[in-house]
Amino acid sequence: MISEKKYPSAIGEITVLTLTNASGASVELSTLGAGIVAVNVPDAQGRLADVALGYANPADYLADGPCAGKVPGRYANRIAAGNLEIDGKVYRLPINNGPNHLHGGPDGFQNKIWTLVKAEGNTVVMSYTSPDGEAGYPGVLTATAEYRWTDDNELQLTLRATTDAPTVVNLTNHAYWNLAGHNAGSVLSHKLTLRASTYLPTDSTLIPEGVQVPVEGSPMDFTSPKALGSDIKLEFPALVYGKGYDNCWCIDSYTPGKMAEAAVLTDPASGRRLTVTTDQPGVQVYTGNWLAGSPANKAGRSYDDYDGVAIECQDFPDSPNKRAFPSTRLNPGEEYTRHINFKFSIDK
């Protein structure tokens, strides 16, 4: 079942759609940034709670620092110094994160109202067409985000894109999760498992150095369940640079076009479990290190740092400038297709 409401914003009307499954669990999606704005799922006692961080006013998602719940683009994550070279031509992208380009720049896909293409049954499809030269990127690129909400509480996201000229694309979803409830406070007691034995070390501006390094023996090791807060205050370069976790891990079983488990997040208090599967090569984990000062949330307060964790399945940061990384180039006649599934269940 799907219902919808309309809200005004500075850039036009926002549609918020609620998808409710047979059990009564629900998801709310917004055409602003093709965003996830609420996910209501049961705990071990069957009590529903909203586990996705979000704001009281649907218009407050516009240009928010956390990029809460939205689909950033044309290139999620960072491109070093805003330098993009394609076929010998250099394109200059806007700098909006220290010395780097982040999430497609300040006017990225996350800050656009997407066109609602379909809202039927358990499926919502939204699209956005980025003109040639927008944020410095070449080519007219049309992106679509298709969400499906199943009766077994799995939110399935398919991201697609086509272009009329060679360009780059990297799409993900930037939802923040707190399995105790979006307003429950710190997630540092949540336990995370990553199916990743290597990660990408970065410089102090969070640009990858270009090599994969084993996590074993370091605070980056989540190969077995570990509380997010266990090592977060250690004097380790990655944790110092980001004021917490803000790194990309390399999924061990990555095979192009094949789905694989990337991450499992559990909350011991509520018994909720989130399993993330994808066909993307990397997973960026961001522990909400700079959430303080966000717009008023659905309970009326600003979030604090570490109140949520983002698990962003994506291509590697700065891939266009790192030949050893999987290519993010998209050519005319090709279709970029990526899948990310969020399965909510009870931790047994």
pLDDT by position in tens, the chain (length 348): 899 999 999 999 999 999 999 999 999 999 999 999 999 999 999 999 999 999 999 999 999 999 999 999 999 999 999 999 999 999 999 999 999 999 999 999 999 999 999 999 999 999 999 999 999 999 999 999 999 999 999 999 999 999 999 999 999 999 999 999 999 999 999 999 999 999 999 999 999 999 999 999 999 999 999 999 999 999 999 999 999 999 999 999 999 999 999 999 999 999 999 999 999 999 999 999 999 999 999 999 999 999 999 999 999 999 999 999 999 999 999 999 999 999 999 987
3-state helix, strand, coil in the chain (%, to 5): 5, 40, 55
Q: Who contacts 162 (Cβ-Cβ below 8 Å, separation ≥6)? A: 141, 142, 330, 332, 334, 335, 336
Question: What does CATH list as the number for 2-346?
Answer: 2.70.98.10
pLDDT of residue 307: 98
- H or E segment to which residue 146 belongs: strand 141-149
Burial of 36 (0-12, 13-18, 19+ CB in 10 A): buried
* Residue located via tokens 């979803």: 173
Tokens of 310: 């983002």
CA distance 47 to 57: 25
The residues pairing with 85 across neighbouring beta strands, listed in sequence order, are 90
Dist. CA 46–CA 259, nearest whole Å? 29
Nearest Cα to Cα of residue 118 among 21, 34, 22, 36 = 34
User: Among 28, 134, 146, 312, which one carries the catalytic annotation?
Assistant: 312
Q: Is 174 a catalytic residue?
A: yes
Across 13-140, the runs of DSSP E, i.e. the strands, are: 14-20, 26-30, 35-42, 48-50, 78-79, 83-86, 89-92, 101-102, 115-120, 123-130
Domain boundaries of the chain, sorted by first residue: 2-346
Put simply, whether the predicted model's pTM sits higher than 0.85 gets the answer: yes
| Dist CA 301 CA 297 (whole Å) | 5
How many residues in total does the chain contain? 348
Helix or strand or coil: residue 82? helix
101, 103, 174, 190: the active-site residue:
174
Q: What pLDDT score was predicted for residue 182?
A: 98
Residue found under tokens 């290519």 = 327
What's the pLDDT at 316? 98
Q: How far is CA 118 from CA 99, 109, 121, 148, in A?
A: 39, 19, 10, 11
280: left (phi over 0), alpha (psi -120 to 50) or beta: beta
Q: Phi and psi dihedrals of 245, rounded to 5? A: -80, 130
What is the three-class DSSP state of 111? helix
CA 150, 156, 161: angle at the middle one, nearest 5? Answer: 145
User: Is 134 annotated in the active site?
Assistant: no
